[in-house]
Amino acid sequence: MIKNRNEVLKISFSAFFADLGYQAVVASFPIVFVIIFKAPIPLYGLAEALNYGLGTGMAYLGGILGDRFGRKKIAIIGNSLILFVSLMGLSRDYIQALLFFMIGWWFRNFRSPPRRAMLAEVTSPQERSEAFGILHSLDIAGALLAIVYLTILLYLHVPIFTILLFTSIPLVISTLFLSRVKAGKRNDNKKNIQSISNKKVFWTIIFSTMFFGFSQYSFGFPILTTAEITGKDYLGILAYGVFLGASSLFGYLFGKVNLGELTSLAFLGYLIGAISSLGFAFLSGIGLASLYPLSFLMGIGVASTETFEPTIISKVVKSESYGESMGYLSAGRSIGIFLGNVIMGLLYQISYTYAYVFASIMSLISFTLVLSLIIRK
């Protein structure tokens, strides 16, 4: 039983409502950018690289500022400015759509490390796997509901730009939940990230999440693949719902079951990610019978990484460096996603098979890095 369960739930429900809002925008972005505004696929890859990759600096900055000025304050500032993504509903071309989404997404990255640090702050090391599992599960449950209402409203022919403006409501509720958390005050201890108890584990996880970032491309690519193969936009978005449903369910299960963290990260995270990407490469042509199961499998892989990566990192750094260490974790993933989306966009233009094979290879590198830690233990 988690001692400070109420604080864990406040942070987790803040994540739930945030995803209830912005994940509908995430799923809509490739539809708006490519299908409505007719942007070419390579430009979409570059756009996603800007969204996710340049958020690297914002994630690291958020972690640093959280440790220095108060994690709660920085998390609230970042969370409130995610509202920019909803303004994509006012865009009239792909440049405006990109700018609104990019600014909001950068601030989403900005608030993530201090929010994770707050969760580590209110839990003991033995409670963290479960706490991060609850956070991820509620986070993705909100995302799944976002996909449900987005799919239904699109099926009912509600204009997508109207739906995007509506997403601002749950984002405001998310910030209100975060403001009620009793954690994240300014830490006057001036120690920095050098207070790492196991540098080998720390830097291996940072590099492995970077390579996994190459393969955890924006799920917009599978959305586009599904939409193109089926000829229906809402079926592409529904693939994202399948992915999120699996991620939410298994995030909760991974947190509740007593599993070896490194082994689970390697085999249930990175290896499953590699297998699912390989499946997208060679089985997508079958149609929904392959696309939805592969989306489900990818959801399991991401649930593992989102549960075990921050848990492992939180156990090898001192409490005063939680924010900065989570900033490194977010930055590592963002660097991989930045480069991965550029390469995915270029390869996808030739054939989606090449793009997904590349992603699978990158996941295997992450798997090998963590496997080396397990073998040397």
In terms of Cβ atoms closer than 10 Å to its own Cβ (0-12, 13-18, 19+), residue 375 is exposed
CA distance 208 to 374: 13
- For 66-104, b/e burial (b = at least 16 CB within 10 A) is bbbbbbbbbbbbbbbbbbbbbbbbebeebeebbebbbbb
Sequence-ordered alpha helix ranges (H) in 88-216? 94-121, 128-155, 160-166, 168-179, 199-215
| Closest to 171 measured CA to CA, from 84, 251, 98, 100 | 84
Complete DSSP assignment for 165-200: HHTHHHHHHHHHHHHT-S----------TT-BS-HH
In terms of Cβ atoms closer than 10 Å to its own Cβ (0-12, 13-18, 19+), residue 166 is middle
CA distance 99 to 138: 28
Domain ranges of the chain: 5-180+197-376
Give the architecture (CATH level 2) of 5-180+197-376: Up-down Bundle (1.20)
Would you say residue 195 has pLDDT above 70?
Answer: no
Cα–Cα distance list, 18 to 33, 86, 111, 311, 335 (Å): 22, 11, 11, 22, 23
Would you say residue 353 has pLDDT above 90?
Answer: yes
Would you say residue 193 has pLDDT above 70?
Answer: no
Chain position carrying tokens 């193109």: 228
Range in 97-101, 245-249, 327-331 the model is least confident about? 327-331
| Closest to 310 measured CA to CA, from 368, 338, 365, 269 | 269
- Per-residue model confidence (pLDDT) at position 87: 97
Name the token pair of 131: 């706490």
Residue 345: band (very low, low, confident or very high) from pLDDT cuts 50, 70, 90: confident
Residue 252: band (very low, low, confident or very high) from pLDDT cuts 50, 70, 90: confident
Would you say residue 358 has pLDDT above 90?
Answer: yes
Q: Percent of the chain beyond pLDDT 70?
A: 95
Cα–Cα distance list, 160 to 29, 88, 153 (Å): 10, 10, 8
Mean pLDDT of 335-341: 77
Strand partners, 317: 196
- First vs last C-alpha separation in the chain: 29
Mean pLDDT of 277-296: 95
| DSSP structural state of residue 267 | I
Residue 81: band (very low, low, confident or very high) from pLDDT cuts 50, 70, 90: very high
- Per-residue model confidence (pLDDT) at position 343: 85
